[in-house]
Amino acid sequence: MKGSMKLTLKVWRQKNTQSYGRLETYKISDVSPDMSFLEMMDVLNEELIRKGEEPVAFDHDCREGVCGMCSMYINGRAHGPKSGTTTCQLHMRSFKDGDTIVVEPWRAKAFPVLRDLVVNRSAFDRIIQKGGFVSVDTGSAPDANIIPVPKPMAEKAMDAAACIGCGACVAACKNASAMLFVSAKISQLSLLPQGKVEASARVQKMVAQMDAEGFGNCTNTGACSAECPKEISQENIARMNREFMVAKLTSDLEA
Amino acid sequence: MKLDAKIPSGSISEKWSKHKFNLKLVNPANKRKFEIIVVGSGLAGASAAATLAELGYKVKCFCFQDSPRRAHSIAAQGGINAAKNYPNDGDSVYRLFYDTIKGGDYRAREANVHRLAEVSVNIIDQCVAQGVPFAREYGGHLDNRSFGGAQVSRTFYSRGMTGQQLLLGAYSALSRQIGLGNVQMFSRTEMLDVVLVEGQTRGIITRNLVTGAIERHAAHAVCLATGGYGNVFYLSTNARGSNVTATWRAHKKGALFGNPCFTQIHPTCIPVSGDHQSKLTLMSESLRNDGRVWVPKTKGDNRRPEDIPEAERDYYLERIYPSFGNLVPRDVASRKAKEMCDAGRGVGTSGLAVFLDFGEAINRLGEKAVKQKYGNLFDMYHQITGENPYKTPMRIYPAVHYTMGGLWVDYNLMTTIPGLYALGEANFSDHGANRLGASALMQGLADGYFVIPYTIGDYLASSNLPIVKTDHPAFVEAENQVKDRIHKLLSIKGKLTVNEIHRQLGKIMWDYCGMARSAEGLTHARKLIQDLKQDFWTNVNVPGSDADLNQALEHAGRLADFLELGELMVVDALERNESCGGHFRTEYQTPENEALRDDDDYCYVAAWEYQGDNQPEVLHKEELVFENVKLTQRSYK
C-alpha cells in the first residue's frame, strides 16, 4: 500500500553521553496511516543511509508492546499521544498529514543518553537487584496449590505485574521519579503470600537504591500513571508508602 | 562422526531419575572454582544463570538488549503446560509426553520429551513460589485452560501475558543472584564467537554494543540460550533483534545443527498490512478456545462479515476435524488457512486472511467474561488494525513464529562440542517437527531450572579442564577473526541497505521454504540465496563506525549469518523427502492433503556439519527409536 502522509520530524541527535545533542529536522513523505511509529522511523533511517548519513539510533525489540525497550518522547508525551500504548504500538493514523512531530529521548538524570534516542535504564535493574524478588532457590518450592491466593488479590498482583519497565513513568514525571515502577514490583510481591515474608526488607532496600540512583520524589501529579502504557495505577504508590512506613516503624524486628 | 545422544537405559519413566543418580557431582566447595557463561537471558538463559549461581558456580550472563528483562520470551501470551492434573480431567506425565510426541509428528526424541513432561510440574511450583501471578479460581487455586493438540486442560496462564510473568520471575531470580554478586551481567553485549581450546569450549568473544569494544571471556563451559531463528524470514513474530548469530557461529566452530528446516508457522497472527511491515504480531492460540475460524463458502465473497449469514459461512476446522475442531495443532490450522486463501476464499483487502469470530462466545458468555479472558489481546488487535473485535470478527493469517530446529544436543543438552550447551529454543530437541502451544515456555524453563543444573556438573566433574586465560592464542585468533569481519562489513560501502537485503531473503524463504515446499521451489531458492549472499558481500552499505553504538552494523552481522542459515534450511528441506509437522512437501501428502510421513526412510534427526565457506554441509543422522509410542498417521478428526 502506497502511503499518503507527509510529515516534518524534529529528532534528537546526540553522538554519545559526553557530547551535546540537538534537534535535527527531516522531511518524510509516503507515510502510510497503517505504519507503526517505529516503521515510520525505519523509513526515515533507510533514507538517511541511502543519502550517506547515519541513521537515528533508537531502542526497540518486540514491537508488540511488551518488552519495554522502545522509549520515545513524542510531542512532549512519553510514548506519544495515545494513552495505554507503547511507541511501537502507536500507529501513524494517530497523526495528520502535514504534522510536525518532535521526537526526543527519555530525559532524566538517572537515564543518561547513550546515543540519539537511546538511554541507559540500568538503574531499574539495580533497583530490582536489591529486593525485587522472592528469595527462593530452584527446587525448594512446595506444591503450587498448597497456598490458596484469593482471586481479588491475585488479580491486583497481576495488574501491578503488568509493568514492562520501560521508564515512561520517569520520563513523564517532572521530578523524574521512579515511584510507579518501584511500587508496582513492591505491590505485586506484597499482595501475594509468597512475597510477604520479605516485604519489610524489600521495600526499604529498593527505596534506598531508588534514591541512590538519583530519581526524584513523588509529588502526586499522577503523570506517571496517565502516561504508563500498561496503565499501572497510582494505588501502588500509596501501597508502597504504607509498606515503607510500617517497615520503618518495625525495622528493628526485621532485616 | 558418530552421534551419541547418550540416552539412558531403562524404562522411559525411570530414565531421568536413574540418570540423575549416575551423573557425577561437583562438591559444594569446588563449585565456585568453575566459571560458566550463559548467553541469552530469556526463560532458558535467565533460569539457567540464576540456578547455576544458586548452586555456587561463578556465572557470567550476556544479553544484547538493554536489560535481561527484555528477552523475547516476554512476548509469549497464552500459557505454559504442566501435567499437574489439577482439573482431574485425566492428565498425567505420560499423557503430556504422548501428546508432545504426537504433536511433533514423531520426530522428537522420546527420552527428552518424557523428562520435559516430568519436570513440567516442578516448574509451576517454582514459579508460584517466586511470586508469579497466575490466573486463579475463586477458591484461590490455580486455573487451567486448554490449548491446541490436547484434550485436557493443562495450561497455566496469566491473562494474555504468561511469558511476561514467567520471564519476570526468572529475571527476578537472576537479579537476586546479580545482587548477591554470584552472576556478572553484561547487557547490550553480543556474542560473536565461541573459543575452543584443545577441542573444549573455553570462552566467547563479545562486542559491547555501546562502545564497540571487542572483549574476551574465558570459562569452563558455555550455555547458549539465544532463542530461535525465525527472523531468517524477515517478517515473523520474533522480536526485531532475535537472531541466529550465537548458534550459527557455534555451528561454524563444529556444533552440528539439527533439523534446520523445522519451522513453526503460527495460525493466528494479524495479517500483513503493507510493504512497510517490520514484524508480525501473534494473537494467542488460546483465542481458538472460544473463537471460531471461518471463511465465506463462496469464492470472492467480499461482503462485510456481519452481512454474511450463518448458512453461507464455512467453519472449515470444525467441519474437517470434528473432534478437535478449532483446537487442531498449529501446523494443521496454518496449512488449512493457506488452502482456503489459495482457493480464493480468503478475506480482507489482500485476500490473505481468515476470520476468527467471537460472536458466538460473546452471546454465550457475555462480553464481560470474554473481556476478562482475552481483554488485552482484543485491545492489541484493536490498536494495530483499528478494528474492534468485539463488534466484528478478527482477521488472522499464519506467520513464522518458532523454530523447532536448532543446535543438535544430546540428552545432557550438550552440543557436539564438549562444554558447549544449547538450551530452550536454541536447541532442537523436544518438539520434533511441530511444537504444541504452551510448550515453549515449559521447555525453556525445564532446561534452565531443572536439566542443565544437573547435567553440567557431570561434565565439569569428569573433564580435564586445564587453566586457560584470555591471552591464550585461541582467544587472540578468534578475536582477530571477529574484527576482520566487522571491518569487512564496514568497508563494502555498496548501494543496498541491510534491511533491503534482509527483506529479499525473507521473501525467498517464505515463498519457497514456508508453509508449502517442493523440490523444484527449494532448488530454485537455493540459487537465489547464493546470489543474494554474493550481493550482500559486494554491495551492502553499512554506515557508521565500529567504535560506536551502530545498529546497522549489528543488523548486518546478523543478516550475514541468516543468509548462510537460509541456505542450510533449504538444503535440509530438500533432503527430507517426506512431509511431517511444519515441514510440508507438496509432493508428499495424503489424499486428504494431510502431511504424509515416511517413517521407513526419514525417522531421524538431520544433523548438519559445517565444512567451510561455500562448501556443502555434511549430513549426519540420529535415528529416532520409539519404544513407547506407536507411530501412526496423526489424526485430529
Residues 6+ apart with CB under 8 A from B373: B286, B290
| Model pLDDT, residue B78 | 83
| Model pLDDT, residue B149 | 78
Interface test with A, best of B64, B188, B234, B240 (most A CBs within 10 A): B240
Partners of B490 in beta bridges: none
Read off the pLDDT of each residue in B331-346 and give the average, rounded to a whole number.
92
Q: What is the mean pLDDT of chain B?
A: 96
Select A5-115's CATH number: 3.40.50.2300, 1.10.940.10, 3.10.20.30, 1.10.260.40: 3.10.20.30
Q: At what angle do helices A151-161 and B162-179 cross, to 10 degrees?
A: 70
Mind telling me the catalytic residues of B?
Answer: 330
The grid coordinates of residue B147 equal: 490449548
Helix (H, G, I), strand (E, B) or coil at B625: coil
Q: Do A1 and B275 touch (CB under 8 A)?
A: yes
Q: Do A52 and B543 touch (CB under 8 A)?
A: yes
Q: Which of B130, B142, B158 sits opposite A134 (nearest CB)?
A: B130
| Model pLDDT, residue B379 | 86
Q: Which of B135, B173, B278 sits opposite A63 (nearest CB)?
A: B278
Sheet arrangement for strand A77-78: A22-31, A5-13, A100-105, A72-74, A77-78
Q: What is the DSSP string of B58-72?
A: EEEEE-SSSSGGGSG
Q: Rounded to an integer, what distance in angstroms lies between the CA atom of residue A56 and that of residue B369?
A: 44
Calculate what percentage of chain A has a pLDDT beyond 90.
95
Q: Is the pLDDT of residue B238 over 90?
A: yes
Say if A195 is an interface residue toward chain B (CB within 8 Å): yes
Q: With beta carbons under 8 A apart, name residues in chain B contacting A124.
A: 67
Q: With beta carbons under 8 A apart, name residues in chain B contacting A40.
A: 276
| pLDDT tens string B102-115 | 999 999 999 999 99
Q: What residue in B sits closest to A71 (Cα-Cα)? A: B66
CA distances from B583 to B259, B331, B505, B525, B572 (A): 10, 9, 19, 16, 10
Nearest-5° angle of CA B386, CA A104, CA A215?
105
Say if B266 is an interface residue toward chain A (CB within 8 Å): no
Structural contact between residues B346 and B296, judged by C-beta atoms closer than 8 angstroms: no
Interface test with A, best of B158, B276, B277, B282 (most A CBs within 10 A): B276
Tell me which residues of chain B, numbers 415 to 454, contact chain A at a CB-CB cutoff of 8 Å: 449-450, 453
Q: Which of A124, A138, A150 sits opposite B54 (nearest CB)?
A: A138
| pLDDT tens string B303-312 | 999 999 999 9
Of B242, B347, B365, B240, the C-alpha closest to B296 is B347
Tell me which residues of chain A, numbers 100 to 159, contact chain B at a CB-CB cutoff of 8 Å: 114-115, 118, 120-122, 124-125, 128-130, 132-145, 147-151, 154, 157-158
Name the minimum distance, in Å, from the CA of A247 to any CA of chain B.
20
Say if B2 is an interface residue toward chain A (CB within 8 Å): no
Q: Which of A57, A118, A145 sits opposite B86 (nearest CB)?
A: A145
Q: How many CA atoms lie within 13 A of B8 on its CB side?
A: 20
CA B18 to chain centroid: 29
Q: Do B131 and A128 touch (CB under 8 A)?
A: no
Q: Do B74 and A67 touch (CB under 8 A)?
A: yes
Structural contact between residues B134 and B82, judged by C-beta atoms closer than 8 angstroms: no
Q: Which of B50, B171, B240 sits opposite A60 (nearest CB)?
A: B240
Which amino acid makes up residue B146? S
Name the minimum distance, in Å, from the CA of A245 to any CA of chain B.
23
Residues 6+ apart with CB under 8 A from B225: B38, B39, B40, B41, B42, B44, B45, B48, B422, B423, B424, B426, B444, B447, B448
Residues 6+ apart with CB under 8 A from A10: A23, A24, A25, A26, A100, A101, A102, A103
Residue B540 phi, psi dihedral angles, 5° rounding? -85, 150
| Model pLDDT, residue B286 | 83
The distance between the two most distant Cα atoms of chain A, rounded to a whole number of Å, is: 67
Q: Rounded to an integer, what distance in angstroms lies between the CA atom of residue B131 and that of residue A194?
A: 6
Does CATH place domain B268-400 in 3.90.700.10?
yes
Structural contact between residues A17 and A69, judged by C-beta atoms closer than 8 angstroms: no
B227 burial level (CB within 10 Å; 0-12, 13-18, 19+): buried
Q: Do B176 and A122 touch (CB under 8 A)?
A: no
Q: Do A137 and B129 touch (CB under 8 A)?
A: no
Q: Do B136 and A60 touch (CB under 8 A)?
A: no
Q: Is the pLDDT of residue B459 over 80?
A: yes
Place of cell 511470586: B131
Say if B72 is an interface residue toward chain A (CB within 8 Å): yes
Residue A129 phi, psi dihedral angles, 5° rounding? -60, -20
Radius of gyration of chain A (CA): 21
Q: Rounded to an integer, what distance in angstroms lies between the CA atom of residue B105 and that of residue B112?
A: 15
E strands within chain A? 5-13, 22-31, 72-74, 77-78, 100-105, 113-115, 118-119
Q: Which of A49, A62, A143 sits opposite B541 (nearest CB)?
A: A49
Nearest-5° angle of CA B138, CA B141, CA B142?
110
| Model pLDDT, residue A1 | 45
Name the minimum distance, in Å, from the CA of B135 to any CA of chain A.
7
Q: What is the pTM of this model?
A: 0.96
Q: How many CB pairs under 8 A join A and B?
A: 227
Q: Do B383 and A129 touch (CB under 8 A)?
A: no
Residues 6+ apart with CB under 8 A from B138: A151
Q: Rounded to an integer, what distance in angstroms lies between the CA atom of residue B105 and that of residue B98?
A: 11
* Backbone dihedral region for residue B152 (phi beyond 0: left; psi -120 to 50: alpha; all else: beta): beta
| Model pLDDT, residue A251 | 77
| Topology of the domain covering A122-137+144-250 | Fumarate Reductase Iron-sulfur Protein; Chain B, domain 2 (1.10.1060)
Sheet arrangement for strand B58-62: B183-186, B58-62, B35-39, B221-224, B420-422
Q: Do A63 and B47 touch (CB under 8 A)?
A: no
Name the minimum distance, in Å, from the CA of A125 to any CA of chain B.
7
Q: Which of A65, A137, A194 sits opposite B54 (nearest CB)?
A: A137
The distance between the two most distant Cα atoms of chain B, rounded to a whole number of Å, is: 74
Residue B505 phi, psi dihedral angles, 5° rounding? -60, -45
Cα pseudo-dihedral A137, A141, A144, A150, rounded to 10: -70
Name the minimum distance, in Å, from the CA of B84 to any CA of chain A.
9
Q: Rounded to an integer, what distance in angstroms lies between the CA atom of residue A132 and that of residue B509?
A: 43
Q: Do B543 and A115 touch (CB under 8 A)?
A: no
Q: Is the pLDDT of residue A255 over 70?
A: no
Read off the pLDDT of each residue in B225-253 and give the average, rounded to a whole number.
98
Q: What residue in A sits closest to B64 (Cα-Cα)? A: A61
Partners of B294 in beta bridges: B355
* Backbone dihedral region for residue B286 (phi beyond 0: left; psi -120 to 50: alpha; all else: beta): alpha
Interface test with B, best of A46, A62, A163 (most B CBs within 10 A): A62
* Backbone dihedral region for residue A38 (phi beyond 0: left; psi -120 to 50: alpha; all else: beta): alpha
| pLDDT tens string B168-184 | 999 999 999 999 999 99
Calculate what percentage of chain B has a pLDDT beyond 70.
100
Q: Is the pLDDT of residue A2 over 60?
A: no
**Residue ranges covered by each domain of chain A:** 5-115, 122-137+144-250
Residue B613 phi, psi dihedral angles, 5° rounding? -55, 130
Q: With beta carbons under 8 A apart, name residues in chain A contacting B140.
A: 148-151, 154
Of B319, B300, B324, B296, the C-alpha closest to B309 is B296
| Model pLDDT, residue A3 | 66
Say if A49 is an interface residue toward chain B (CB within 8 Å): yes
Partners of B595 in beta bridges: B589
Within a 10 A sphere around the Cβ of B214, how many other Cβ atoms?
A: 18
Place of cell 545482587: B179
- H or E segment at B190? strand B189-197
Q: Do A65 and B172 touch (CB under 8 A)?
A: no
| Topology of the domain covering B484-613 | Methane Monooxygenase Hydroxylase; Chain G, domain 1 (1.20.58)
Q: Is the pLDDT of residue B147 over 50?
A: yes
Name the minimum distance, in Å, from the CA of B133 to any CA of chain A.
6
Q: With beta carbons under 8 A apart, name residues in chain A contacting B131.
A: 133-134, 157, 188-189, 192, 194-195
Q: Is the pLDDT of residue B608 over 50?
A: yes
Read off the pLDDT of each residue in B81-99 and give the average, rounded to a whole number.
97
**Residue ranges covered by each domain of chain B:** 268-400, 484-613
E strands within A75-127? 77-78, 100-105, 113-115, 118-119
Sheet arrangement for strand B145-146: B80-81, B153-156, B145-146
Tell me which residues of chain B, numbers 269 to 328, contact chain A at a CB-CB cutoff of 8 Å: 273-279, 281-282
Which residue has better confidence, B300 or A46?
A46
| pLDDT tens string B480-528 | 999 999 999 999 999 999 999 999 999 999 999 999 999 999 999 999 9
Q: Do A68 and B70 touch (CB under 8 A)?
A: yes
Structural contact between residues A116 and A16, judged by C-beta atoms closer than 8 angstroms: no
Q: Do A66 and B161 touch (CB under 8 A)?
A: yes
Helix (H, G, I), strand (E, B) or coil at B310: helix
Structural contact between residues B197 and B212, judged by C-beta atoms closer than 8 angstroms: no
Of A87, A93, A241, the C-alpha closest to A166 is A87
pLDDT band at B374 (very low <50, low <70, confident <90, very high): confident
Per-residue three-class SS string for B393-462 = CEEEEEEEEEECCEECCCCCCECCCCCEEECHHHECCCCCCCCCCCCHHHHHHHHHHHHHHHHHHHHHHH
Q: Is the pLDDT of residue A136 over 90?
A: yes
| Model pLDDT, residue A252 | 65
Q: Is the pLDDT of residue B121 over 70?
A: yes
Which amino acid makes up residue A69? M
Q: What residue in A sits closest to B241 (Cα-Cα)? A: A61
